[in-house]
């Protein structure tokens, strides 16, 4: 590791800016050259003068890096102005890392996919060289102070436009990523996205966006759902991607339910998948399938309620004896319960027990939903765009996810949520302050189970069949991994975690056999290095870093500024 004194960094600043800026421009220009001789690699980067979509991304990144290097020369950042609240240098450094990383991945992918480095064309080598130079320049720049873009005062209209632009970018990125067929191209894009996010984070853009979002919560929520709602229109009837997207939503909804139990109350539930299964089986048995064992088919809204209720009754059944004893036991009892569920579903086949579930064959042929004549199995054409079967389920699941988010956040921001935090922090003190800890834990358990049951009811129809082997322990561990990766106690984090964990194996087929191995490692590493997850819930972060005084001060300062900004009346509600 090179160490450069701050003085010499000052001296090198201007040259570093110029060199870095030029290198970034060169890197951006490299997309005009061919990167790969073989058009099959990385979704075709073999054109001269006509960049591929992925190369356009690289072009944009190069332009961003050039701006980060060169603009400060003109602006001359001063204390107290917005120019000094932007962390130009750190961001430029991260953009340069990405400028370097992108061609590195590209070269490796081209060599692997097309067979040998011989297939790498001059464009990629030029980008690689420019990336190296840019990275060196970035390392030479003095480090910026912590970004403070959240202090920038922004006109409300611009704030709303920023939210819209952010959401639009998100939609575009999702559509683009799902459209990539080649595994190497997907990895390359994932690397690009991670680099861009890190760059913007270091620049301080997210701090500013957070302020915009906090000031326009309604707009944000509406925009998010509008984007999600609009997603099927971008797919032009492609069923494969819509199926993945729907699975992501089901998985995310279930993970949010688990998040109530794990993230908010701090109880470890390792049999959570059983509640999803209970909902799915209930819904299947009542679906009117030729294999259903009960000849009664209630309307779907009632089925959903029954599925949720059955799941939450199971939750109460398992929770009421075990929630009284120490939390450690709960983990293993729920694990045992998950096994009991699976075995029972296997055994209720008519020979080892009454026939309810057809045993290990499960219940196939579950008919599609039909709301007032709207057949979920049929394709519809709306605004000239074909909307297929999975898109219908996608929208239904989106609605359910919205409800789950409402339940999650409203419970969390009430006296019940405060009680949960108190239990997590010090159960005995909570009890001694009059909090009914047992009832609150049971409530969390039953609510989580209910939500999973509801998700399961939709899942049964989406999947067409329900079998016991879909609901094994590893699936519970997988859900837990989503919660831990994303960030315990947060909504956004868990949805991101669920998306990552569901999307990666779908897009990177070669890695699917190693999926569980890597998730096991992921759990260990997350606990070791970032237990609060990608998106940290502030309080959770403090709990996991009990000895970090600086962090405590920082979080508190944030709390106070946010209060001062948005609750000028000190008596206002929290």
Partner 1 sequence: MEFFFQQLINGLSLGALYALIAVGYTVVYGIVQLINFAHGEIFMVGAFGAFATWVLLGSPTTWSLAAALFVLLPAMILGGVVVSVAVALLTERLAYRPLRTAPRLAPLISAIGVSVFLQEFIRLFFGYIPGMPDSKRAIPFPSVEGISGASFQIGQVTVQMPAVFTIVALVVCTLFLWFYVNRTKTGRAMIATSQDPDTARLMGINVDRVIMAAFAVGAALAAVAGVAHGLRYGNIDFRMGFLSGLKAFTAAVLGGIGNINGAVVGGLVLGVVESLATSFIPGQFGSTAWKDVWAFALLILVLVFRPQGLLGAKVVDRA
Partner 2 sequence: MDAATATTVDAAPGSGKDLLLSATDVTMQFGGLKAVNDVSMQIHTGEIVGLIGPNGAGKTTFFNCLTGLYKPTSGSVEFIGRPLPPRPRKVVREGMARTFQNIRLFHNMTALENVMVGRYCRTKTNAIDAIFRLPRHRREEREATARSRELLAFVGLEKHADTLSRNLPYGDQRRLEIARALATDPKLLLLDEPTAGMNPQETREAEDLIFRIRDLGLAILVIEHDMRFIFNLCDRVYCLVRGEVLVEGPGEVVQNDPRVIEAYIGTPQIVEEEGNADA
Report 283-322 residues binding partner 1 (CB under 8 A): 318, 321-322
Footprint of partner 1 on residues 364-393 (CB under 8 A)? none
Partner from partner 2, partner 1, none contacting 435, C-beta within 5 to 8 A by type: partner 2
Binding segment for partner 1 (CB under 8 A), chosen from 34-42, 233-241, 342-350, 497-505, is 342-350
133 interacts with partner 1 by CB under 8 A = no
Question: By the 8 A CB rule, do 347 and 279 touch?
Answer: no
Kindly state the DSSP code that residue 323 receives in the 8-state scheme. T
Q: How far apart are CA 519 and CA 477, in angstroms?
A: 9
Asked whether position 3 contacts partner 1 by CB under 8 A, the answer is: no
Instruction: Give the CA count within 13 Å in the CB-facing half-sphere of 361.
Output: 10
Task: Give the integer Cα–Cα distance in Å for 254 and 483.
Answer: 10
549 lies in the binding site for partner 1 (CB under 8 A): no
Neighbouring CB atoms inside 10 A of 402's CB total 15
Position 328 contacts partner 1 (CB under 8 A): yes
Burial (CB < 10 A; 0-12, 13-18, 19+), residue 114, is buried
Q: Provide, rounded to whole angstroms, the least separation between the CB of residue 494 and partner 2.
A: 18
Q: Given the complex with partner 2, which of 379 and 436 has the nearer CB atom?
A: 436
Name which of partner 2, partner 1, none residue 60 binds, using a CB cut-off of 5 to 8 Å depending on partner kind: none
To partner 1, the closest distance from the beta carbon of 184 in angstroms equals: 22
Q: Which residues contact 520 (CB under 8 A, 6 or more apart)?
A: 477
In this structure, the dihedral spanned by the alpha carbons of residues 339, 343, 346 and 349, taken in order and rounded to 10 degrees, is -150
| Contact positions vs partner 2 (CB under 8 A) | 406-407, 410-411, 413-419, 421-422, 425-426, 428-437, 443, 447, 539, 542-543, 546, 552-553, 555-556, 559-560, 563, 570-571, 573-574
Minimum distance, C-beta of residue 436 to partner 1, in the bound complex (Å): 17
CB of 422 to partner 1, least distance (A): 14
Determine if 433 is a binding residue for partner 1 (CB under 8 A). Answer: no
533 binds partner 1 (CB under 8 A): no
255 binds, among partner 1, partner 2, none (CB under 5 to 8 A by kind): none
Per rule CB under 8 A, is residue 270 in the interface with partner 1? yes
Residue of the chain from 58, 88, 189, 337 that contacts partner 1 (CB under 8 A): 337
Residue of 531, 539, 554, 555 interacting with partner 1 (CB under 8 A): 531
CB contact at 8 A, 450 and 315: yes
Tokens of 89: 């240098």
The SS3 assignment for 560 reads helix
- The Cα–Cα gap between 356 and 365 comes to 15
332 forms part of the interface with partner 1 (CB under 8 A)? yes
Residue 488, CA distances (Å) to 165, 227, 406 in order: 28, 25, 17
* Residue from the set 340, 403, 433, 559 that interacts with partner 1 by CB under 8 A: 340
- Residue 321: how many CA atoms within 13 Å on its side-chain side? 6
In this structure, are residues 306 and 298 in contact, taking their beta carbons and an 8 Å threshold? yes
555 binds, among partner 1, partner 2, none (CB under 5 to 8 A by kind): partner 2
Among 399, 492, 524, 560, binds partner 1 (CB under 8 A): 524
Residue 132 touches partner 1, criterion: CB under 8 A: no
527 forms part of the interface with partner 1 (CB under 8 A):
yes
The partner in contact with residue 333, picked from partner 1, partner 2, none with C-beta cut-offs of 5 to 8 angstroms by kind, is partner 1
The item of partner 2, partner 1, none sharing an interface with residue 196, based on CB under 5 to 8 Å by kind, is none
Residue 529 CA, distance from chain mean position: 19
Residue 406 interacts, among partner 2, partner 1, none and using kind-specific CB cut-offs from 5 to 8 Å, with partner 2
Give Cβ neighbours of residue 564 (< 8 Å, ≥ 6 apart): none
At a CB cut-off of 8 Å and minimum separation 6, what does 210 contact?
150
332 binds, among partner 2, partner 1, none (CB under 5 to 8 A by kind): partner 1
The item of partner 1, partner 2, none sharing an interface with residue 301, based on CB under 5 to 8 Å by kind, is none
Using rule CB under 8 A, residue 15 touches partner 1? no
Q: Evaluate whether 533 touches 486 at the Cβ level (below 8 Å).
A: yes
Label residue 202 exposed, middle or buried (CB < 10 Å: 0-12, 13-18, 19+): buried
Instruction: Verify binding: residue 191, partner 1, rule CB under 8 A.
Output: no
Exposed/middle/buried for residue 92 (C-beta within 10 Å: 0-12, 13-18, 19+): buried
Q: Which two tokens stand for residue 487?
A: 């960030």
Question: What is the chain's Cα-based Rg?
Answer: 26
Q: What angle do CA 507, 498, 257 make, to 5 degrees?
A: 150
* Nearer to partner 1 among residue 218 and residue 528 (C-beta): 528
- The listed partner (partner 2, partner 1, none) that binds 407, CB under 5 to 8 Å by sort, is partner 2
523/484 Cα distance (integer angstroms): 7
Q: Which residues bind partner 1 (CB under 8 A)?
A: 262, 266, 268, 270, 318, 321-322, 324-329, 331-333, 335-337, 339-340, 343-344, 346-347, 351-354, 428, 432, 473-474, 477, 480, 484, 513-514, 516-517, 519-524, 526-528, 531, 543-544, 546-547
């Amino acid at each position: 590791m090179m160490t450069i004194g701050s003085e010499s960094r000052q001296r090198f600043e201007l040259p570093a800016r110029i060199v870095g800026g030029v290198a970034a421009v060169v890197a951006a220009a490299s997309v005009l050259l061919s990167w790969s001789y073989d058009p099959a690699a990385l979704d075709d980067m073999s054109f001269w003068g006509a960049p591929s979509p992925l190369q356009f991304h690289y072009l944009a990144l190069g332009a961003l890096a050039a701006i980060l290097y060169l603009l400060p020369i003109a602006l001359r950042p001063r204390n107290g102005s917005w120019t000094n609240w932007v962390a130009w240098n750190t961001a430029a450094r991260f953009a340069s890392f990405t400028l370097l990383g992108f061609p590195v991945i590209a070269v490796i992918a081209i060599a692997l996919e097309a067979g040998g480095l011989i297939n790498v064309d001059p464009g990629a080598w030029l980008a690689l060289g420019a990336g190296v130079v840019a990275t060196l320049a970035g390392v030479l720049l003095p480090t910026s102070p912590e970004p403070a873009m959240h202090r920038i005062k922004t006109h409300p209209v611009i704030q709303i436009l920023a939210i819209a632009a952010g959401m639009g970018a998100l939609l575009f990125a999702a559509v683009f990523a799902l459209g990539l067929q080649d595994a190497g191209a997907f990895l390359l894009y994932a690397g690009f996205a991670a680099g861009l996010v890190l760059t913007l984070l270091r620049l301080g853009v997210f701090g500013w966006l957070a302020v915009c979002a906090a000031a326009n919560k309604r707009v944000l929520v509406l925009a998010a759902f509008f984007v999600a709602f609009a997603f099927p229109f971008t797919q032009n009837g492609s069923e494969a991607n819509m199926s993945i997207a729907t699975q992501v939503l089901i998985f995310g909804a279930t993970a949010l339910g688990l998040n109530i139990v794990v993230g908010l109350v701090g109880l470890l539930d390792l049999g959570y998948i059983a509640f999803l299964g209970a909902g799915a089986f209930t819904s299947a048995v009542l679906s009117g399938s030729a294999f259903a064992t009960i000849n009664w088919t209630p309307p779907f809204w009632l089925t959903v309620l029954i599925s949720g209720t059955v799941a939450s009754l199971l939750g109460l059944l398992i929770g009421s004896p075990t929630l009284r004893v120490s939390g450690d036991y709960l983990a293993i009892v729920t694990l045992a319960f998950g096994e009991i569920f699976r075995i029972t579903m296997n055994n209720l086949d008519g020979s080892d027990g009454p026939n309810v579930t057809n045993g290990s064959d499960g219940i196939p042929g579950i008919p599609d939903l039909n709301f007032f004549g709207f057949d979920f199995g049929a394709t519809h054409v709306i605004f000239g765009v074909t909307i297929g079967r999975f898109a219908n389920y996608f929208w239904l699941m989106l609605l359910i996810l919205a409800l789950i988010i409402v339940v999650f956040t409203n419970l969390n921001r009430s006296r019940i949520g405060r009680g949960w935090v108190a239990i997590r922090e010090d159960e005995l003190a909570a009890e001694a302050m009059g909090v009914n800890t047992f009832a609150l834990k049971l409530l969390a358990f039953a609510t989580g189970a209910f939500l999973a049951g509801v998700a399961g009811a939709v899942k049964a129809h989406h999947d067409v069949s329900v079998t016991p082997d879909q609901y094994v322990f590893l699936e519970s561990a997988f859900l837990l991994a989503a919660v831990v990766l994303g960030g315990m106690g947060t909504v956004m984090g868990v949805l991101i975690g669920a998306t990552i964990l569901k999307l990666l194996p779908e897009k990177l087929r070669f890695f699917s056999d190693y999926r569980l191995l890597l998730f096991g490692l992921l759990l260990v590493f997350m606990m070791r290095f970032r237990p609060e997850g990608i998106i940290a819930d502030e309080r959770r972060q403090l709990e996991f870093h009990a000895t970090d005084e600086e962090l405590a001060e920082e979080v508190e300062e944030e709390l106070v500024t946010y209060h001062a900004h948005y609750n000028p009346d000190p008596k206002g509600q929290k």
